[in-house]
Structure 1
Amino acid sequence: MTSLIDLLASAQRTDTGFTTEIPANWLQGRTAYGGLSSALALAAAKQVEPDLPPLRSAQVAFVGPLSGPVTVTATKLRRGRNAAFIQADIMSEAGLGLRTNFVFMSRLESAIEHDTTAPTGFAPPPADAELYTGPKEFFTGNFNFFDLKAEAGPTQWLRWGRLIDRAGLDPEVELMVMGDALPPASLKLFAKMTPVSSLTWQVNILQPAPATTDGWWLLEAETDSARGGYSSQTMRMWSADGTLVAEGMQGVAVFG
């Protein structure tokens, strides 16, 4: 198996990013797992300038399938005193597969301190918990998972997850590769497996330099609208101590 760390270490640098190859163990069907593609795009974006402030937002468009050899490029759109906007694309032989816009922003002095988020109250799985890891030939083989089935709603996934090989990985890159690890919540509406495909992903980072314990992140995805082959879902991510670190939305195509 090829880890994300190995994938980044073996990438060939270019003037605008790097080239690499998506290994089979990071695929979901005929395309790369969306969290991996987003993480690769972020890694390229962070090479544009050496002193970027913390990542605060990402807008991801899953344009087409990505597999095999890929080229990752990043371009600075604008950098002001406080914020930097960087676009990153991933191309394969099939053409453009991913387009992202990342926003990096420094902390600003503000009279406003408003936070209504509350700790989850769910502890990470104990050391002796029975964890799920997917097959080695599928992207889920890179993760450990622990489901909170009893606590999840009828159209909600609630699952602890961690990247197995994460030592030395950039914390923001780890956040991106973890953040899309749940199946689309619309799958809970079907009695059998149904083809789905992520279209867009908007994620806002609430805690600069996110950190957790033992690699565990609590992931949530929930849909309250799915019709006409399109589902919109909200997504959230907490650290092991219950702190909300990211929230977002995703648009999903449902083929059935």
Structure 2
Amino acid sequence: MTSLPALLAQAQRTDTGFTTAIPSNWLQGRTAYGGLSAALALAAAKQIESELPPLRSAQVAFVGPLAGPVTVTATKLRRGRNAAFIQSDIVSEAGLGLRTTFVFMAALSSAIDHDTTTPARHAPPPADAQLYTGPPGFFTGNFNFYDIKDAAGPTEWLRWGRLIEREGLDPEVELMALGDALPPAAFKLFEKMTPLSSLSWIVNFVRPRPVTTDGWWLLHAETDVAREGYSSQAMRMWNADGTLVAEGKQGVAIFG
């Protein structure tokens, strides 16, 4: 088992990012887990630019499969007085697998202060809770999960999650790694196992540099449209205090 902090520590740095290899315990099928790929892309973006303001938005395109040796490259698109746009790509022997655009933005003085977000009503799991961890040969083996029973509807997930190994990890990189950890919500519609694949993911961080307790984040995903091999789902993330920290949308391909 190679943890995310260990994977980043072992990476070979370059002028524009780094090279590494995707360990088998971070795969989901024939490709890297999407949250890992996004986290590696963010780590490269932070490597090429110093003193970045907080991460505010990430636009992720899952272009193709990523496995084995990979090269992670970051490019500054623009950096102004308040915001920085950085593109990160991940390439493997199969070609381009991931393209991301990260937006970092400092807080601005504003007369507008509007917030209608809903706090989470569910507490993190107690210390003696029975947690779920996936098998060591699959990406879920890097996480602890705790389902909130009877709280989710027929096309949604609501689950506490945390990285098992996270010491020394950049908090924003940790959030990207965890933010895609739920199965696609359309999975709940199937009567038999059906392959799915994330196509695109946009996540906006509504709290700059959020923190939590004991690594726990409450993850939510819900789909309202799934037809013709495509599903669109809404996603949210709260910290242990119940504060909404991120929300997003994801497009998912359904092969069956």
Cα offset, 1:193, TM superposition: 1.4
Please name the residue that 1:170 is paired with.
Answer: 170
- The CA distance in 1 between the partners of 2:152 and 2:178, in whole Å, is 19
- The CA distance in 1 between the partners of 2:149 and 2:57, in whole Å, is 30
Cα offset, 1:191, TM superposition: 1.3
Secondary structure of 2:235's match?
Answer: strand
Residue 29 of structure 1 aligns to which amino acid in structure 2? G
2:179–2:219: 8 Å Cα contact kept in structure 1?
Answer: yes
Cα offset, 1:41, TM superposition: 0.1
1:243 aligns with 2:243: yes
1:98 aligns with 2:98: yes
| Correspondences of 1:75-154 after superposition (within 5 Å) | 75-154=75-154
Cα offset, 1:243, TM superposition: 0.3
Cα offset, 1:121, TM superposition: 1.3
What do you get for the CA RMSD once the two structures are aligned?
A: 0.5
- The CA distance in 1 between the partners of 2:46 and 2:210, in whole Å, is 16
Secondary structure of 2:52's match?
Answer: coil
Please name the residue that 1:202 is paired with.
Answer: 202
- The CA distance in 2 between the partners of 1:250 and 1:199, in whole Å, is 7
- The CA distance in 1 between the partners of 2:120 and 2:14, in whole Å, is 43
For residues 9-52 of structure 1, give each alpha carbon's deviation from its aligned partner in whole angstroms, at most 9, with x where no partner exists.
Answer: 00000111000000000000000000000000000000121111
Unaligned runs of 5+ in 1: none
Secondary structure of 2:123's match?
Answer: coil
- Runs of 4+ aligned residues of structure 1 deviating over 4 Å after TM superposition are none
| Correspondences of 1:24-63 after superposition (within 5 Å) | 24-63=24-63
| Correspondences of 1:221-240 after superposition (within 5 Å) | 221-240=221-240
- The CA distance in 1 between the partners of 2:119 and 2:249, in whole Å, is 20
Cα offset, 1:168, TM superposition: 1.1
Q: Normalized against structure 1, the TM-score is what?
A: 0.99
Secondary structure of 1:38's match?
Answer: helix
2:84–2:105: 8 Å Cα contact kept in structure 1?
Answer: yes
Cα offset, 1:149, TM superposition: 2.9
Secondary structure of 1:19's match?
Answer: strand
For residues 95-123 of structure 1, give each alpha carbon's deviation from its aligned partner in whole angstroms, at most 9, with x where no partner exists.
Answer: 00000000000000000000001211100
Please name the residue that 1:74 is paired with.
Answer: 74
For residues 114-173 of structure 1, give each alpha carbon's deviation from its aligned partner in whole angstroms, at most 9, with x where no partner exists.
Answer: 000121110000011110000000000000000113000110000000000001110000
Q: How many residues align?
A: 256
Unaligned runs of 5+ in 2: none
Secondary structure of 2:112's match?
Answer: coil
Secondary structure of 2:175's match?
Answer: helix
Secondary structure of 2:48's match?
Answer: coil
Please name the residue that 1:14 is paired with.
Answer: 14
- The CA distance in 1 between the partners of 2:133 and 2:203, in whole Å, is 25
- The CA distance in 2 between the partners of 1:52 and 1:160, in whole Å, is 29
Secondary structure of 1:250's match?
Answer: strand
- The CA distance in 2 between the partners of 1:193 and 1:250, in whole Å, is 20
